[in-house]
């Protein structure tokens, strides 16, 4: 198991101090080990298996108990609805003695990345469907892109997930994942659909893919994501939208390829992207 360095004698406002192990290669799952009273929160339907001592409770929002009362829970659920997720999450709590385990799987081929939020400054911004599970106490919120052009053509639109707290969170990314540490002022250009996550200190904007000829016939869309450091960036090689587009193109060859998975404009976006 990969152990957390925190002591269990901790401030109760902190996230639960869970242990875990990630198993598998292309189709991974994370196995979380809980001590009595510890909890993990996960997307509905993500569980693979659990020990009998682990109880399940479906809750509004991100499962942070009675924090904020009914209105707090309602607001948390509303944030999840805005990001395209279910209103509910499932909380798994160890109600017995000794150790107990519960496992969660990613729905697409790729990688499950464990992120310790206190080591990232307490916040991670990621694509809308990236969250898989976390230690109870992690906040699952909304991040809005403030610039109109970035929201329209930035791959994930105006709305992304904002994960906040101090504990472990597990995010799912497609294909092979690369982590880049950007120095202050250093720029990186990424296909908009391949941008998986970044820390808030990174400036996220768009840059033109090049000349009109390149944009129309290059097959990479109109814009790249321009990321300017300092901070960390995670890049995925196989966005789910790209995988789905290839499957659809294979099943219906006349439909053509969908290389513009970042566009929110549907068929118009495909036209702009050169499809």
Range scoring the smallest mean pLDDT among 119-123, 210-214, 229-233: 210-214
- The strand pair at 88-94 and 39-43 is best described as antiparallel
Q: How many helices (DSSP H) and strands (DSSP E) are in the chain?
A: 5, 19
46 or 144: which leads in pLDDT: 46
At residue 215, does pLDDT exceed 60?
no
pLDDT of residue 81: 54
Residue 209 DSSP class: -
Confidence check: pLDDT of 221 > 80 = no
Which of 11-15, 39-43, 116-120, 268-272 has the weakest average pLDDT? 268-272
As a whole number of angstroms, the distance between CA 131 and CA 267 comes to 28
- Chain segment 154-173, per-residue pLDDT in tens: 444 457 889 999 999 999 99
Copy the structure tokens of residue 166: 């101090």
Average pLDDT over residues 174-192: 93
Over residues 86-108, the mean pLDDT reads 89
How many angstroms separate the Cα of 191 from the Cα of each of 116, 135, 167, 194, 197? 26, 31, 30, 5, 13
Per mean pLDDT, which range of 2-6, 204-208, 245-249 is the poorest?
A: 2-6
pTM, entire model: 0.73
Q: Which pLDDT belongs to residue 243?
A: 65
Tell me what the mean pLDDT of segment 189-212 comes to.
Answer: 83
By percentage, how much of the chain surpasses pLDDT 90? 40
Instruction: Please report which confidence band the pLDDT of residue 182 belongs to, taking 50, 70 and 90 as the band edges.
Output: very high
pLDDT at residue 196 tops 80: yes
SS3 assignment for 125-176? EECCCCEEEEECCCEEEEEECCCHHHHHHCCCCCEEEEEECCCEEEEEEECC
Per-residue pLDDT for 261 more than 90?
no
Query: CA–CA distance from 272 to each of 147, 211, 257 (Å)?
Result: 20, 13, 14
Mean pLDDT over each residue of the chain, to the nearest integer: 76
Indicate if the pLDDT at residue 59 is higher than 50.
Answer: yes
pLDDT of residue 267: 45
Query: What pLDDT score was predicted for residue 133?
Result: 94
Express each pLDDT in 110-162 by its tens digit.
899 999 999 999 999 998 888 999 998 888 888 776 554 444 444 444 578 89
- pLDDT tens column, 170-179: 999 998 999 9
- Residue 244: per-residue pLDDT: 65
Q: What percent of the chain has pLDDT over 70?
A: 63
């Amino acid at each position: 198991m990969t152990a957390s360095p925190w002591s269990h004698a901790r401030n109760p406002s902190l996230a639960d101090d869970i242990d875990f192990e990630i198993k598998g290669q292309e189709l991974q799952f994370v196995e979380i080990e809980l001590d009595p009273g510890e909890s993990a929160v996960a997307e509905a339907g993500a569980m693979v298996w659990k020990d009998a001592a682990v109880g399940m409770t479906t809750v509004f929002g991100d499962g942070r108990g009675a924090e904020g009362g009914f209105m707090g829970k309602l607001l948390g659920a509303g944030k999840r609805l805005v990001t395209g997720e279910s209103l509910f999450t499932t909380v798994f709590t160890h109600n017995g003695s000794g150790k107990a385990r519960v496992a969660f799987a990613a729905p697409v081929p790729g990688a499950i990345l464990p992120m310790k939020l206190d080591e990232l400054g307490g916040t991670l911004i990621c694509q809308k469907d990236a969250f898989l599970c976390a230690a109870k106490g992690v906040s699952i919120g909304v991040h809005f892109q403030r610039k109109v052009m970035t929201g329209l053509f930035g791959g994930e639109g105006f709305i992304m997930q904002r994960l906040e707290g101090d504990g472990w969170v597990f995010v799912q990314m497609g294909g092979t994942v690369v982590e880049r540490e950007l120095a202050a002022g250093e720029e990186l250009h990424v296909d908009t659909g391949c941008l998986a996550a970044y820390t808030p200190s990174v400036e996220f904007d768009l840059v033109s893919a090049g000349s009109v000829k390149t944009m129309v016939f290059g097959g990479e869309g109109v814009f790249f994501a321009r990321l300017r450091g300092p901070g960390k960036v995670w890049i995925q090689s196989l966005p789910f939208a790209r995988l789905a587009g290839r499957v659809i193109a294979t099943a219906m060859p006349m439909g053509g390829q969908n290389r513009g998975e970042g566009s929110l404009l549907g068929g118009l976006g495909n036209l702009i992207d050169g499809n």
